Amino acid sequence: MTGGVIKLGGEKKGRFMDKVMEILPEGGNLNLCLTCGACSSGCPATGLDGLDPRKFLRMAALGMDDEILKSDWVWMCTMCQRCVYACPIAPTTIAVVAVAVFCSPA
């Protein structure tokens, strides 16, 4: 085996996540998400446009900036905060949606 370093995907975009991290308490960490689906269970926007809070957070954590900013799902979110109250770890969904709305070209 050769000892070369393999680089995957080049540099991370992170434009969107940098803005999210600025407003989350203590920098936040979307990787803490257990993907349990508690946030999606009571969300009135679950299933609309094929998304739900859990999928939306995973997209943000994976650096899918373009997909997030093109999504109409952020405009379907009612900001009711059911996801915040249901989350057992770190309720950050509203912050991510708010940044997406603010950064959205629409």
pLDDT band per the 50, 70, 90 thresholds, residue 1: low
Write down the pLDDT at residue 94. Answer: 78
Domain ranges of the chain: 15-103
pLDDT band per the 50, 70, 90 thresholds, residue 2: low
pLDDT in tens, 31-89: 778 888 999 998 999 999 998 999 988 888 888 888 888 889 989 999 998 988 888 88
Mean pLDDT score, 4-23: 65
Dihedral sign, Cα of residue 11, residue 17, residue 23, residue 26: negative
